[in-house]
Chain A
Amino acid sequence: MVYHYYPGCTLKTKAKDLDRYGRKSMEALGITLTELENWQCCGGAFTMAKDEIATKLSSVRALADSRDGVLVTLCSACHNVIKQTNYAMANDAEFAMKANNYSKFDVPYNGETKVMHYLEVLRDVVGFDNLAKAVKNPLKGKKIAAYYGCLLLRPSKALQMDNPENPKILEDFIRAIGAEPVLYPYRNECCGGYMATEDQSVAAKKSGQVMDSAAEMGADMIITACPLCLYNLTKNAPGHQIPVYYFTELLAEALGVKD
């Protein structure tokens, strides 16, 4: 099985750690992520309007180029945009027709590629039991709050990743690397997202609520798969001391492949 990998814009710039530790860890687990040639930025947000075609074409190209395997995403936003685009290609005949008319692929694309988030590869291909066996430095005694945010789970109809209201994939991951998951009410609420560019105070309010909620339940640290969540939680929630990490960094640490 070929695991095509779509890193996305931010993993090549501000979120290099998310990418680097992700690749190293997957390699250590026996799976090679092959970066897709000529991938283009997904745009960060799926445009819901049915008559928006051009904004979704970069995702359509990545999907069509991955037909011989699985397309793996790591950034929450890429995951969200590419899965929603794939769902639209499979279920919205008019959109698929227009995208195909423009793209002129040798064989029309209609949503055949399987898209998996990195965490889904850990859960469904590697298996959390096997991951636990591969761990060299278990993160014993660490109380970790998983932050899903909005993009990993919703809309569940298209993403089909986990239960959108009571997810457990990140908590299972935390257990597999030897730590203790901390449940808290705001784990799947929004950090304020791109509102940081429009009104920073909104991002501060939303991120502050998430940090307060995790702190109240006794978390030592928070993990995320999203560069924008990490940015908002660390920079736009002043006065909060809980450190925020990419989950791949802790994974690499547990597997003993962190520099």
Chain B
Amino acid sequence: MNNNLKEQVLRMSGVNPLKCMRCGKCSATCPSYDEMEYHPHQIVYMVEKGEIEKLMASPSIYKCLSCFACVERCPRDVEPAKLVEAIRLAVIRQQGQNHLKAKDIPDLIEADPDLPQQALVTAFRKYTK
């Protein structure tokens, strides 16, 4: 367990995982639930336990759609998406760890010329530093 990383994630996100009452509503409402190895309610508990490195290595952190469903619907205002974002940032803020690279963009546009700019700028903001 890396307390330094846990503190960093809590500070960045502003989330207090101890408020969670484990109702599972975040996972029940998450549109990416099926794509995730660790689901939103598990992520909250894992952060509480300090298992940040395990989460940083998981593809689950790139599956969040930023749809704010779990933020809106959490009855305890834990707002799990903020944890997912902080963990992803803890990864991509490291040197050479961008999940989407600028050199990948031309291929994406070539694959589908109809892809709107909004998709690219949003993906770039989420996956790249």
Contact = CB atoms under 8 A, between A and B. Distances in A.
Q: Which of B31, B67, B118 has the most CB of A within 10 A?
A: B118
A193 B65 contact: yes
Given A150-B67, A154-B67, A190-B65, A235 B12 contact: no
A48 B85 CA distance: 7
A49 interface: yes
Given A49-B86, A231-B114, A43 B65 contact: no
Interface of chain A: mostly helix, strand, loop or mixed:
loop
A193 B66 contact: yes
Interface in A43-100: 43-52, 55, 75, 77
Contact of A150 (B34, B35, B68): B68
Interface stretch (A133-141, A194-202, A214-222): A194-202
Given A10-B117, A155-B71, A48 B122 contact: no
Given A49-B85, A50-B13, A196 B65 contact: no
Point out which of A155, A195, A205 has the most chain B C-beta atoms below 10 A from its C-beta: A195
Interface residues of A, number: 47
Interface in B106-122: 108, 112, 114-122
Interface of B: 11-14, 31-32, 34-35, 62-63, 65-69, 71-72, 81-82, 85-86, 89, 100, 108, 112, 114-123, 125-127
Shortest 6 CB-CB contacts between residues of A and residues of B: A44-B122, A150-B67, A154-B68, A190-B67, A194-B122, A44-B121
Interface of A: 8-10, 13-15, 41, 43-52, 55, 75, 77, 149-151, 153-156, 164-165, 189-190, 192-199, 202, 205-206, 226-228, 231, 235
